[in-house]
Chain A
Amino acid sequence: MRKTLILVGLLAACSLAALGQGYDTMPADAHVIPIGVEGTVYEDMELGVRGGTLHIPNIEDPKAWNNHTAKETSTTWFTYRMHRGLMNLDHISGAVVPDFAKSYEISEDGLVITFHLREGINWSDGTPITADDVLFTFNDVITNEDVDCNARPGMILPDGTFPICEKVDDYTVTFTLSTIYRPILNQMTFSLMPKHKLAQYVHKLNPDVPAGTFNETWTLDMDLSELVGNGPWIVTDYQVNVSVTMERNPYYYGYDPAGTQLPYYDKIVSHIVANQDVSMLKFRNGEVDVYAMRPEDIPILLPEGPSKGFQVMVTDLAQYGTTWICPNLDIGLADGTDEEKRELYRNVEFREAIAHLLDKDTMVQNVLNGLGTAQWTGVSVPSPFYAGRDEYGGPTTENDAVWFEYDPALAASKLDALGVVDQDGDGWRDLPSGAPLTIEINANDNTIRIAYCLIIQDDLRAVGLNANFQVVDFNTLVNRLLGATGDIIQLGLTGGDEPNSGKNVYTSCGNLHAYRYSACEDPDEVDLRIDELMDLGANTFDLDEAFDYYKEYQILLAHQLGYIYLCQPTFLYTYYDYVGNAFMASPTSTPGGNNGLLTELCFDKRL
């Protein structure tokens, strides 16, 4: 027993030593989050108390602890909570706001951005954070070709160069751009990494280690007490396939207006539960405090909530991302076949007919159990740049939305006008030349996507279009889409707040411009204007001006009907009543930002 107590004591001491002791008093440059302050987006939140453990389910294990080489959200869910950047997405509004930088200014010519760092702030092991850490992260990790870094593509300016990052003093850095490029502010959310811990693994700084060493640094088998971050949490324990425990970073710089250091909870235990049915059972069993519901869970959870003391949150805000069908406007181009079908697909009147055959209401009702919204543009609804708003960040009005209402009669008449009529009396419409017209719709083995496609197939067939739906393997589907060998493909893309992140998708030479890759060589007027608008939106720091460009681009895109949008589920989540401030946040994503559950602002009301 004595030995055990000594062991526990030693472990606790080691843990404290690894995490440091924390600040004696609130640092002058602390980041005060206006929780409960009227007139701010946080006004409905409550001030919390410290203590307790928050239990959250996660589907997959992390793959590593290295944020900059991470490729999957199962890893970044943890690493984003360990590291913060100069800027951050505001959790609620979705705007990009200073975070580790206390402020920033842009030079008059728009080419130099100066960040002023918070002074007196430490890494989780007590080492001060300075401009050297910013320079190390940007110059030696992100833009270092030896590092397989995911943040690098986003840092490339339109002319192919990187911003030049320089130190002015210990707490001031500048980024000099070769051209005005507003989306770079979003990229300034890149996670800061501790130079004193990681410089030794970068070949460029330490030639004794082989090239590529950084990519194999901070892997799962590392000694966790070596992990250092500046975010609210630090991973302290990992049980493979079972759980990840994160403890409060004693040197986190976030405070509430009452001077209480955040996070409120002492710990987060993330339970790795690979099966969602089991995840829901664990929530119902009280083992986890929050749960990201599926539409089919609602009939079970809704009646149980009042007696078990949990809230079922059903918002009307669509989740980030897009879901669409993509007609291949280059069908047969590579091998010189399907010329007539290609011409038909390229005719916007035909695509309008298809758009009028998409019964989005039925999709929402039957597939998403009524918990979804129809989409019409490539920018996610929660984005402040969404064209369904009247101004940047304003309320959603859908005043300028481009809807192609479900109208089979109108679709049929459009097809008739195009000469797509049944010429041989077999009940199916033919191409104007009389050749048979068959349409193959493909999706991968995903319940929701299959259900969408079956509805689409039925509606196309109802007007005499010989549509056949086939499920194909996900990789085959992607190959068909990106190789322009498919017919009509149903898939989706992730999305965020910044429209420029869709540049690869919507500009004519983008590598995901899958509806017509030939637009790169042979752009039409709309393609050219979209390319121009994307550049204009990126080349101004004036958000209202950028909003106007992006609005025009979204409206053009909607009329172009390259990707024809379907529906997106709304945010759904549940949480026990005792989790304070959880009403503002979903466990997987937040309605206004993409940082996930606001774990540092939640607290245990039972304490």
Chain B
Amino acid sequence: MLTYMVRRVLYMIPLLLIVSLIAFSLIKLMPGDYLTVARMNPMLTAESLQEQIERFGLDKPFLVQYWYWLKNVVRGDFGTSFGTRMPVFKTLFFGNRLTWTILIAATTLILTWFLAIPIGVYSATHQYKPSDHVVTFFGFLGLSIPNFFFALVILWMLVVIFRVGEYGLGVGGLLDSRFFDQPFSWAKFCNYMWHLWPIWVVIGTAGMASLIRLMRGNLLDTLSLPYVQTARSKGLRESVVIYKHAVRNAINPLVTVFGLQLPGLVGGSIVTAIVLNIPTVGRAYWSALQQQDEPVIMGGLLFFSLFLLIGNVIADFLLAWVDPRIRYD
């Protein structure tokens, strides 16, 4: 197992190298560059433009640019953002972006899993009953509504229907402005909660809906297997049959899903973060993409790729843990 894990980690190095080369090529294939908008500035002379092109190294051939970038990365220098003039990772994580991203994603993930698994189990064990139809209906609804639209609908309802402004409550963001310079207090905590619930609902429902469907389907498959019939015929209690024997097996594919959700912790829900005004790493990355801030795009891509690979490794670990039959050589 240990050899396997070490091998997996070592494989990540050439993989990241290939990812970086593909990413760099894609960035260069995009029309325009960081200075495209500046080119349309009537005040900018041709000489000044050339000066800027040279300053940002945009006049060098593609492979030369990639080589410089790679050489610096090996030395631990991921470059400086064209826009903020700060180091790449400082630009991505500046403020409490990384903390908030992980905090929001982790709480949403926990909440989603804690609700989705029991609901999925309930839905499977009550197949085709009215309660199953209700759960299925909301499951499909959660899957179908685009997150950004759902977020806008919630904010609109709070402002226009419930008129929360009349009670001194704001919408979007993490906190009402009157608390910005206040020390931490119970009231401030409650205000955080007021702003966090729409985030949990919007991001949570989308993830939850798919998990419910997945859990329901897997459990239904498992419940039809002969060993479940055997367990029942041996006279085991139904709860023991379901929770001890069926659910444990049905949950295996979901563990893989859990591992794959890890990169989403730092990069997911960009559009929702924009609509709900949450400081996240994804939002900083989106801003870099819009401006073609190449060093930040490259740094962000590598960072997200790394998380994806780590997520896969963790999923393998978890799978071995929940299913003793799985062994890696």
Within 8 A of A (CB), among B179-199: 180-181, 183
Q: Which DSSP category, helix, strand, loop or mixed, fits chain B's interface?
A: loop
Q: Which has the most chain A C-beta neighbours within 10 Å: B40, B95, B152, B180?
A: B40
Which chain A residues lie closer than 8 Å to B39 at the CB level? 478, 482
- How long is the Cα–Cα vector from A178 to B33 in the complex, in angstroms? 36
Which chain B residues lie closer than 8 Å to A511 at the CB level? 44-46, 49
User: Is A285 positioned at the interface, with any CB of B under 8 Å from its CB?
Assistant: yes
- How long is the Cα–Cα vector from A242 to B155 in the complex, in angstroms? 17
- How long is the Cα–Cα vector from A474 to B164 in the complex, in angstroms? 39
Interface bits B245-282 vs A (CB < 8 Å: 1, else 0): 00000000000000000000000000000111111100
Which chain B residues lie closer than 8 Å to A64 at the CB level? 84-85
Interface bits A501-523 vs B (CB < 8 Å: 1, else 0): 11111000001100000000000
B85 nearest in chain A by CB position = A216
Establish whether residues A241 and B86, one from each chain, have CB atoms under 8 Å apart when the complex forms. Answer: no
Interface bits A262-277 vs B (CB < 8 Å: 1, else 0): 0000000101111101
- How long is the Cα–Cα vector from A239 to B275 in the complex, in angstroms? 17
- How long is the Cα–Cα vector from A269 to B287 in the complex, in angstroms? 22
Instruction: Tell me the minimal C-beta distance from A145 to chain B in angstroms.
Output: 8
B173 nearest in chain A by CB position = A242
Establish whether residues B283 and A274, one from each chain, have CB atoms under 8 Å apart when the complex forms. Answer: yes
Establish whether residues B32 and A475, one from each chain, have CB atoms under 8 Å apart when the complex forms. Answer: yes
Establish whether residues B85 and A69, one from each chain, have CB atoms under 8 Å apart when the complex forms. Answer: yes
Which chain A residues lie closer than 8 Å to B48 at the CB level? 152-153
Given A216-B85, A478-B36, A504-B44 in contact, is the A285-B277 Cβ separation under 8 Å? no
Instruction: Tell me the minimal C-beta distance from B87 to chain A in angstroms.
Output: 9
Establish whether residues A241 and B42, one from each chain, have CB atoms under 8 Å apart when the complex forms. Answer: no
Given A220-B84, A501-B43, A502-B42 in contact, is the A285-B174 Cβ separation under 8 Å? no
- How long is the Cα–Cα vector from A281 to B155 in the complex, in angstroms? 8
Count residues on chain A whose CB falls below 8 Å from chain B CBs.
64
Given A221-B94, A285-B170 in contact, is the A153-B43 Cβ separation under 8 Å? yes
- How long is the Cα–Cα vector from A375 to B231 in the complex, in angstroms? 82
Instruction: Tell me the minimal C-beta distance from A219 to chain B in angstroms.
Output: 5
Which chain B residues lie closer than 8 Å to A239 at the CB level? 95, 180, 279
Given A221-B90, A511-B46 in contact, is the A274-B274 Cβ separation under 8 Å? yes
Establish whether residues A221 and B170, one from each chain, have CB atoms under 8 Å apart when the complex forms. Answer: no
Which chain A residues lie closer than 8 Å to B36 at the CB level? 474-475, 478-479
- How long is the Cα–Cα vector from A156 to B44 in the complex, in angstroms? 11
Establish whether residues B40 and A478, one from each chain, have CB atoms under 8 Å apart when the complex forms. Answer: yes
Establish whether residues B177 and A284, one from each chain, have CB atoms under 8 Å apart when the complex forms. Answer: no
User: Is A396 positioned at the interface, with any CB of B under 8 Å from its CB?
Assistant: no
User: Is A97 positioned at the interface, with any CB of B under 8 Å from its CB?
Assistant: no
Which chain A residues lie closer than 8 Å to B84 at the CB level? 63-64, 219-220
A160 nearest in chain B by CB position = B47
User: Is A237 positioned at the interface, with any CB of B under 8 Å from its CB?
Assistant: yes
Interface bits B104-120 vs A (CB < 8 Å: 1, else 0): 00000000000000000
Establish whether residues B279 and A240, one from each chain, have CB atoms under 8 Å apart when the complex forms. Answer: yes
Which chain B residues lie closer than 8 Å to A271 at the CB level? 173, 177
Establish whether residues A278 and B181, one from each chain, have CB atoms under 8 Å apart when the complex forms. Answer: no
User: Is A245 positioned at the interface, with any CB of B under 8 Å from its CB?
Assistant: yes
Interface bits A150-176 vs B (CB < 8 Å: 1, else 0): 001110100000000000000000000
Instruction: Tell me the minimal C-beta distance from B206 to chain A in angstroms.
Output: 18
Given A239-B180, A275-B275 in contact, is the A478-B171 Cβ separation under 8 Å? no
User: Is A8 positioned at the interface, with any CB of B under 8 Å from its CB?
Assistant: yes
Listed by A's residue number, 12 A-B pairs whose Cβ atoms lie within 8 Å are A63-B84, A156-B45, A238-B95, A239-B279, A240-B96, A241-B95, A241-B97, A242-B279, A473-B31, A475-B36, A494-B41, A495-B42
| Additional pairs, 16, CB under 8 Å, beyond known A60-B287, A220-B86, A242-B175 | A64-B85, A153-B43, A153-B47, A216-B85, A241-B97, A242-B279, A272-B277, A275-B277, A277-B275, A278-B275, A278-B277, A281-B172, A282-B170, A475-B30, A493-B40, A504-B43
